[in-house]
Amino acid sequence: MASRNPHFKSFMLLFLCTPMFVTSNGHRLITVDASGCGDFLSVQSAVDSIPENNVQNVTIKINAGHYVEKVVVLGTKPYVTFQGSGRESTVIEWHDRANDRGDNGQQLRTYKTASVTVFANHFSAKNISFKNTSPAPLPGMEGWQAAAFRISGDKAYFYSCGFYGAQDTLCDDAGRHYFKECYIEGSIDFIFGNGRSMYRDCELHSIARRFGSIAAQDRNSPNERTGFAFVGCKVTGTGPLYVGRAMGQYSRIVFLYTYFDDIVAHGGWDDWDHASNKNKTVFFGVYKCWGPGATRIHGVSWARELDYETAHPFLAKSFVNGRHWITPFDS
């Protein structure tokens, strides 16, 4: 019985699969392929194969396909890259919502809904999409937060990635992050958390019905260096849409050289609870934005047009100390 022979399958795959890359010194390459032509069938099993306290650069090449699984990269596994074959063709997706119950019977809550969660430092992802496929809620519906991706590690780099969800799509939780030419889709607070992040040349696409909001930033003290800087981005989709909300008392959000479709809500910004005078402590700014929606982002007195001096720190990758960890080629 040929199929009992453990060598038979790999022997056959030699004929059916295209050759794999050979690993070079100090850099490991693992291939994930849904049809069996790689080292692993699932992304999580590839991540699991990386030793604890990893010090090598490890590229996980994820061939075209829909990988329906929840993935976690633990903090003990730094220096991992997810390399997809294109953000249209390689997709990791799952469908948890905040009020779904976890293994312990407790509700997951927003932060644990992410289809992919990364706690590790020095993570990067290229040419791949992350989705949460649970249905979109209407404003006011409770427990429907459903993140596609959560980044809680420091020095993370994303190039040409897609993030798809509705409420709370991208949990930009903690650490320094750089998003280049990414596509981020959602409805309510679809980029949120307390990261210190630069979004350069990204498309922020709203699928809001009745009302929506792009960014909710959670900086909680004037000493924290966190905030979201959107540089050269493009805001598209449906509205009306708040561009930023004061999740934390010292929330910091700036849009620079960004295009806005005619979908910005009256006022443009939201102070979250109308109770804690956040409008006196937040830092919300705009600099040289344009497009039919751009006048409305000046809708409240506490979101100001910055001058060059004030805008400058948010324009360069030094905002995320990128000179030390992003190669010139990558920025």
Structure tokens at 241: 């849409």
Residues 6+ apart with CB under 8 A from 213: 188, 189, 190, 241, 242, 243, 244, 245, 270
CB 113 within 8 Å of CB 145: yes
Q: Tokens 């750089």 appear where?
A: 178
For ligand NAG, the closer of residues 155 and 196 by Cβ is 155
189 is catalytic: yes
Catalytic residue, chosen from 154, 168, 173, 189, is: 189
For ligand NAG, the closer of residues 56 and 236 by Cβ is 56
Q: State which of positions 274-303 bind ligand NAG (CB under 6 A).
A: 274-275, 277, 279, 300-302
Applying CB under 6 A, among 57, 99, 321, 331 the residue interacting with ligand NAG is 57
SS3 295: helix
DSSP string, 85-120: S-TTTEEEEE---TTSB-TTSSB--GGGG-SEEE-S
Q: Is 77 in the site for ligand NAG (CB under 6 A)?
A: no
CB 223 within 8 Å of CB 203: no
Binding characters for ligand NAG, 224-263, by CB under 6 A (x = yes):
----------------------------------------
CB 173 within 8 Å of CB 153: no
Q: How far apart are CB 225 and ligand NAG at their closest, in Å?
A: 24
Q: How far apart are CB 231 and ligand NAG at their closest, in Å?
A: 20
Residues forming contacts to ligand NAG in the complex (CB under 6 A) are 26, 55-57, 83, 86, 126-127, 159-160, 271, 274-275, 277, 279, 300-302
* Residues tagged active-site: 189
